[in-house]
Amino acid sequence: MTSDRGPGHRIDLHAHSTASDGTLSPAELVRAAADVGLDVVAITDHDTTAGWAPAVAALPAGLRLVRGAELSCRWFGADPPVPLHLLAYLFDPDDPELVAELARVRAAREVRGERIVDLLRADGIDVDWAEILTGAGGGTVGRPHIAQALIRAGLVATTTEAFGPDWLGERYRLPKEDIDVFHAVRLVRAAGGVPVFAHPRATRRGRVVPDELIAELAAVGLAGLEADHEDHSPEERAHVRGLAAELGLFFTGSSDFHGTHKTVRLGAFTTSPEAYERIVAGAGRVTGIASG
């Protein structure tokens, strides 16, 4: 894989399924990946590996699946602390410390989701927590599931509107119990995985961390930066690529596909074969790639 064109080179390393806040099941996700002509797709649900097995079982011929997750993290070096997302690839899903940490984060998400619903209900907004949990279908619950309840209630028209300041973006936003980002990088590495900072410059999502923090994370094992992402402007993408080069990290591009919960298409952004090879080479035990 040396050219950036042709078969074998369509690589999307960030996609969500119903195991978290996407709308395609893991099986539907891998079929959709094949349908749009991807050669490699990563399943990266929030704080869970529950989608891995059904995705592997449904893998179409010719498609490679990179097993991953997107960890809810926080940098405590700012006041208030900054939430951020860490992509983790090819880690051991049975690593006890990581398993415990992900279970803790998922449980805390349920408490937080119910508290957000309590806040909405206290203001006379008729949303039902049991119904929202059912809507999440056993997957990691998040604000997109609450957004669907607001849409069902006719209070907002779109997920984007539900994430506005009057709703889940600010007024009814509560923090999650995230993992300290330094701890997360070490945990992923200890589990044989490769950590990549997701959309690190997405100023349109809120506060971002300084480049100095990214340099500190690189020193403790961060491997790559997600540069090409819909939440980055062209300038932000260029900045992230430059920072990656400066720090000796690779950079990725990916769709962060969420089905109908977002408008971005699967495969809208892609990763170079060189970066993909660095992920494969960086994994401790390459049990995380399945070939269809």
Site residues (CB under 5 A) for Fe ion? 21, 85, 198
Judged by beta carbon, residue 51 or residue 142, the one nearer ligand AMP is: 142
Q: Is 70 in the site for Zn ion (CB under 5 A)?
A: yes
Judged by beta carbon, residue 46 or residue 237, the one nearer ligand AMP is: 46
Judged by beta carbon, residue 261 or residue 278, the one nearer Zn ion is: 261
Q: What is the rounded distance in angstroms from the CA atom of residue 63 to the CA atom of residue 275?
A: 18
Q: Is 47 in the site for Zn ion (CB under 5 A)?
A: no
- From first CA to last CA, the distance across the chain in angstroms is 18
Q: Cβ 124 to Fe ion, closest distance in Å?
A: 28
Q: Is 44 in the site for ligand AMP (CB under 6 A)?
A: no
Q: Are 26 and 43 in contact (CB under 8 A)?
A: yes
Segment contacting Zn ion by CB under 5 A, of 118-126, 177-185, 210-218, 250-258: 250-258
Q: Considering CB distances under 5 to 8 angstroms, the limit depending on partner class, which of Fe ion, Zn ion, ligand AMP, none binds residue 201? A: none
Reduce the DSSP state of residue 9 to 3 states and report it. coil
Q: What tokens appear for 54 in the block?
A: 């059904």
Q: Report CA-CA distances (Å) from 251 to 165, 222, 224.
A: 31, 11, 5
Question: In the set 139, 144, 192, 224, which binds ligand AMP (CB under 6 A)?
Answer: 144
Segment contacting ligand AMP by CB under 6 A, of 49-57, 139-147, 190-198, 269-277: 139-147
Q: What is the rounded distance in angstroms from the CA atom of residue 43 to the CA atom of residue 236?
A: 25
Q: Which long-range contacts (CB under 8 A, 24 or more apart) does 283-287 make?
A: 283/89, 283/90, 283/91, 283/192, 283/193, 283/194, 284/90, 284/92, 284/191, 284/192, 284/193, 285/90, 285/92, 285/192, 286/90, 287/90, 287/92
Judged by beta carbon, residue 86 or residue 249, the one nearer Fe ion is: 86
Question: Tokens 């349109």, residue?
Answer: 204
Q: Is 253 in the site for ligand AMP (CB under 6 A)?
A: no
Reduce the DSSP state of residue 250 to 3 states and report it. strand
Q: Cβ 85 to Fe ion, closest distance in Å?
A: 4
Q: Cβ 132 to Fe ion, closest distance in Å?
A: 15
Position with the least CB separation from Fe ion: 85
Q: Is 14 in the site for ligand AMP (CB under 6 A)?
A: no
Q: Are 204 and 236 in contact (CB under 8 A)?
A: no
Q: Cβ 234 to ligand AMP, closest distance in Å?
A: 19
Which residues sit at the interface with Zn ion, rule CB under 5 A? 70, 256
Which residues sit at the interface with ligand AMP, rule CB under 6 A? 21, 46, 142-144, 159-160, 163, 176, 205, 258, 262
